[in-house]
Amino acid sequence: MKRMILSITFAFCFILILMSLKTYRFEDEELTRTIIPNDPYISNQSALNTIKAYDAWSYATDASNIKVAIIGSGINAYHEDLSANMNFNYSYCYDSNDSAFYDNTGHGTAIAGIIGATTNNNIGVAGVCWGVDMYSFKVNNSNDSYSNSNVAAAINYASSIGIDIINMSFGLLEYSSEVDAAISNFDGLIVCSSGNLGYDNDLYQHYPSNYSHDNIIAVGGISNDYSIHPNSNYGLTTVDLFAPMATYTTYYDSTNSSLKYAYLTGTSYAAAYVVGAVALLESEHPDLTPLGIKDLLLSRVSKKDNLQGKCVSGGALSLFNFFHNHSNTYSYYDNTYHTCTCSICGDSYRSLHHWTQIYTNNFALVAEPNIRIRYECVDCGAFSLNPYI
């Protein structure tokens, strides 16, 4: 009898130990687990690594409650990898002789694939959002020219049907008061490409990205090593963040129906990655206002030294950063900067010291013991007698 009791006790303790080990492993995996969907061409989508999508997808994939309007060349909504996420009821074409679901350049179809290609369906590519409610607002003509009146009309229509996010991946050289007013009246966020001429948009005008409204998010382009693509426009005050320019995505070619996917490059596609990220954020944070979402987006970029001074945030899109707080370790660099390294995602970047005045009566070890004020960085602990010289 005693032997049976001991055996039962031992078995019970063993089960408890196994349960504790399993729980520990699960908690450990929470920081590093990834999800790789089964889309056959996903290995061609190197940009997903750059934006850390695989890590982020373990936390959020679905934005089917978010309405995203793509203003541009139209979308081939019947594409095998897009139709499930397309809204066929409220899309619109501003040319009575055309269709919102005919894409005469392939551009809009490519944008849609980055934002919301149907994912984990054993077909084609993966979208940033596995589910999302996408609308095609076609504003160009057969010559691929865009009129400001059509763009303004599309924005106003988006306002009237409750669109949450607008993508505008195109460039116009002239300012339009009509478009300006439509943007001002739109309650959601508008994500724009910065342009592909390698210009500083602080010096040269590029619209719609340069309209000065808080609900605009302007996106520049980087290569997968985070260097600014030589063709991408930039701007300390006119570009908000960077995202990958090169992509492999859905495509449509009216002369070649077998061409359903393609490699493409441009800030248009960088903007599309940000649209997908914003949609996921809005779905996960319904309590935040659009401007609150923008603030969160820009505060959680991957900071990069080479992007400092080239955009507002000084960083590039990182989906994973939305779902964890940086756990930074600091190393002293010089009298102005320290280096921050996140122990979770590995992001490493220089940051300005955050000096605060420290009053002390125990300063006898310094060269000037009569000084009673020093400056200490609240982040890394570095101190200086006078950091401003």
Out of 184-193, 226-235, 329-338, pick the least confident: 329-338
Q: Strand ranges (DSSP E) for the chain?
A: 62-72, 92-93, 131-138, 165-168, 189-193, 216-222, 241-244, 246-250, 261-265, 302-303, 315-316, 328-332, 337-342, 348-352, 355-359, 373-377, 383-384
Residue 386 — pLDDT band, cuts 50, 70, 90? low
Q: Do 352 and 284 lie in a common domain? A: no
d(CA 240, CA 311): 5
The one-character DSSP state at 306 is G
When pLDDT is averaged across residues 365-376 and rounded to a whole number, the result is 56
When pLDDT is averaged across residues 80-93 and rounded to a whole number, the result is 95
Out of 92-96, 149-153, 184-188, 331-335, pick the least confident: 331-335
pLDDT of residue 377: 77
231 within some domain: yes
369 within some domain: yes
Q: Which CATH number does the domain housing residue 249 bear?
A: 3.40.50.200
Split into its structural domains, the chain has a count of: 2
Residue 16 — pLDDT band, cuts 50, 70, 90? very low
18 within some domain: no
**Of the residues 306, 323, 340, which one is the last residue of a structural domain?**
323
What's the pLDDT tens digit per position in 103-137? 989 999 999 999 999 999 999 999 999 999 999 99
pTM of the model: 0.81
What's the pLDDT tens digit per position in 224-257? 999 999 999 999 999 999 999 999 999 999 889 8
4 within some domain: no
Q: Do 248 and 196 lie in a common domain? A: yes
Q: Do 265 and 171 lie in a common domain? A: yes
Q: Do 335 and 237 lie in a common domain? A: no
Residue 372 reports pLDDT greater than 60: no
pLDDT of residue 6: 45
Average pLDDT, the chain: 85
pLDDT of residue 196: 98
d(CA 107, CA 126): 17
DSSP states along 360-375? -S--TTSS-TT--EEE
Residue 338 — pLDDT band, cuts 50, 70, 90? confident
Residue 387 reports pLDDT greater than 80: no
**Structural domain that includes position 168:** 42-323
Q: Is residue 341 helix, strand or coil? A: strand
24 within some domain: no
23 within some domain: no
Residue 366 — pLDDT band, cuts 50, 70, 90? very low
What's the pLDDT tens digit per position in 20-55? 333 222 233 344 457 899 999 999 999 999 999 998
Q: Do 72 and 56 lie in a common domain? A: yes
Higher pLDDT, 295 or 349: 295
Q: What angle do CA 119, 123, 127 make, to 5 degrees?
A: 30
d(CA 19, CA 30): 17
Question: Six-digit token pair at 109?
Answer: 């179809």
What's the pLDDT tens digit per position in 339-365? 777 766 667 667 777 778 776 554 444
7 within some domain: no
249 within some domain: yes
Residue 94 — pLDDT band, cuts 50, 70, 90? confident
What's the pLDDT tens digit per position in 255-282? 898 999 999 999 999 999 999 999 999 9
Q: Do 341 and 304 lie in a common domain? A: no
What's the pLDDT tens digit per position in 138-186? 998 777 788 899 999 999 999 999 999 999 999 998 999 999 999 999 9
d(CA 71, CA 94): 11
